[in-house]
Structure formats: C-alpha cells, structure tokens
C-alpha cells in the first residue's frame, strides 16, 4: 500500500466532545463560591435579567483552545487565528441564571459569553452538549485575545453572587501567548477492495505551555456528497508530540471490478484545520494475489 505524508506547521494565534475526538478533561474543575446578591444589583447589570438573587452555577469542565469546529450542514469547518476560546459547561443547580449575567474575569477585565449563535453551530453541541438555558445551564463560549495576560490569579467564571475560579493549569496557559502547532498526517493513496482508510495524526506543540489542538476531517463519497468523519481534539504538552489515529468505516462499499486500478480516485477525505486544509484522494485497487 502506498502512503503519503503531510507535514504542516501552523502558528495558530487563536487554540469539542464524544466519540469523535481525544478529549482528556485537562481543563476541568476549580473552586466554586456562592454568596447572596441583591435583586437590585442583578437588575442593574442586565435589563430584564432572569438571574435569581442566590443562583448557583456548577462549572464541571472548562476548555481553552485555539480554534472552533463547526458543522456546516454536512461537513466540518474549523475557524481560528484571531484569539483563543474558553468553553465552559456550566449547569444551574439553584435558581435561574441569565447568560448575559455570566462573565469570564481575567486580569481585571470581564468578557461576556457568546450570545448563543456561535455555540449553536459547534459540532460538539450537535453531538451532545446543549446551548445555555437560564434554568438548566449548558455550554458557554468566551472569546479571548491570543496574547497572554499579565496576571491570571483572579481568573474565574462569574455570575451575580458567585464565581468559579479556573484551575491552576488553565491560569498558567492564559498567562502565555497561544502556542504554535506542527501537524503531520499519514494517509493512504490506495486501498485494497474491502479495506477502510486509516489516518495517523501527530501534533507537536512548539510553544512553552500546554495547548489544545482541534481540527475536522470530512469524507466525500462514496454514496454521499460530504459527511463529517471526525473531529480531533488533542491536548499537547509544551514541546511534546501527541499521536492519534482514525479509521474510516466504508460499510458495504465495493468498487466494480472493472473500475479497480483505473487511476481515478473512488473517494476522498478533506482535512480542515484553522490554518491548513488538505485533500486526500483514495483509489481502490485489486487485492494482492
């Protein structure tokens, strides 16, 4: 079997969950503190807010990454390059919390969450997570600068009357600039009849702090114009390389014998990263012997 190697270096200035990616829970819990806030203070913060005076949010996971993977009807696209994103799963365990009353505080500045329109397009939301609802909670998205902060000791998800401090590892990553990644992909040029392609992916963190790399892989054909294949989500330590692989199942597909070894590709895959797009055409050939 012939194989081809892609080697790309992406200096991302910017850096989702379920069975489609490596998601190692790197950025999970911190400390949640709740106090009582007056109704007047809540109303002053946000017009027509629905936050109750003593509401409580449980932040079960917070992830800092340099790109976002979206579902575009029937394929995945990856966006990044201008900042960083912190995504937090925050669930309401008491009262009601309006999204507009939640903020991410870093270095004395408060960053408001996405209004829900960007979150609703995320592949991870389509797969499992829910957009934020005031009585249930859900996924919150904060966009941050790519450059590091002078101080992150106060970094926390806040709401009227309470806050959840980010864990030490996340605060360390926020202090540094977003790291660059080098990406290597091995993919087959040809497959024997009945085989499925395997993609071997290696991601190297060229920065000084850990960083999360995300990207999407789509399949074009057979029988479909396009379909999401996999979302990669990999946390890589500074100076380290993480490896993963994906095997695409083409269940029940067989190329007619007279079309084997004809020099035309029978399907292709598309890699979509924040700074790198590649196409992998694959031809089916007769099995040896």
What mean pLDDT do residues 221-247 have? 95
Q: What is the pLDDT of residue 18?
A: 29
For residues 184 and 206, give the distance between their C-alpha atoms in angstroms, rounded to a whole number: 13
Q: Which of 155, 175, 195 is the last residue of a domain?
A: 175
Q: Which one is predicted more confidently, 276 or 18?
A: 276
Q: Is the domain of 89 the same as that of 193? A: no
Q: Which of 175, 192, 210 is the last residue of a domain?
A: 175
Q: Is the domain of 104 the same as that of 127? A: yes
Q: What is the pLDDT of residue 31?
A: 53
Q: What is the pLDDT of residue 37?
A: 35
Whether residue 23 lies inside any domain: the answer is no
Q: Is the domain of 202 the same as that of 161? A: no
Q: What is the pLDDT of residue 50?
A: 78
List strand residue ranges (DSSP E) for the chain, in order. Answer: 3-10, 31-34, 56-71, 76-94, 103-106, 109-111, 137-144, 156-159, 162-165, 181-188, 190-192, 198-205, 211-220, 227-236, 241-247, 267-272, 277-285
pLDDT tens, 35-89? 333 333 333 333 455 788 788 899 988 999 999 999 999 999 999 878 999 999 9
Residue 256, domain extent: 3-10+179-285
CATH of the domain at 267: 2.60.40.10
Whether residue 128 lies inside any domain: the answer is yes
Residue 12: pLDDT band with limits 50, 70, 90? very low
Q: Which of 149, 175, 201 is the last residue of a domain?
A: 175
Whether residue 135 lies inside any domain: the answer is yes
Structure tokens at 236: 């890589």
């Amino acid at each position: 079997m012939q194989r081809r190697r892609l080697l790309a270096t992406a200096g991302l200035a910017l850096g989702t969950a379920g069975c489609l990616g490596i998601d190692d829970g790197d950025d999970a819990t911190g400390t949640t503190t709740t106090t009582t806030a007056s109704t007047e203070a809540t109303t002053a913060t946000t017009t027509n807010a629905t936050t109750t005076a003593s509401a409580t949010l449980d932040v079960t996971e917070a992830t800092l990454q340099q790109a976002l993977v979206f579902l575009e009807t029937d394929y995945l696209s990856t966006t990044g390059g201008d900042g960083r994103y912190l995504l937090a799963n925050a669930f309401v365990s008491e009262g009601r919390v309006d999204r507009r009353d939640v903020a991410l505080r870093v270095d004395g500045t408060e960053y408001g969450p996405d209004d829900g329109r960007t979150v609703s397009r995320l592949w991870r939301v389509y797969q499992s997570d829910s957009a934020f609802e005031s009585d249930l909670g859900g996924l919150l998205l904060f966009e941050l600068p790519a450059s590091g902060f002078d101080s992150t000791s106060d970094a926390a998800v806040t709401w009227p009357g309470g806050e959840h401090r980010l864990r030490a590892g996340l605060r360390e990553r926020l202090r540094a600039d977003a790291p660059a990644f080098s990406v290597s992909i091995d993919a087959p040029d040809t497959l024997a009849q009945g085989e499925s392609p395997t993609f071997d992916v290696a991601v190297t963190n060229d920065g000084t702090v850990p960083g999360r790399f995300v990207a999407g892989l789509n399949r074009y054909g057979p029988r479909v114009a396009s379909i999401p294949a996999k979302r990669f989500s990999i946390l890589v330590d500074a100076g380290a390389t993480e490896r993963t692989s994906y095997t695409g199942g083409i269940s029940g597909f067989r190329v007619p014998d007279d079309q084997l070894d004809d020099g035309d590709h029978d399907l292709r895959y598309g890699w979509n990263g924040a700074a790198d797009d590649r196409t992998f055409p694959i031809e089916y050939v007769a099995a040896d012997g």
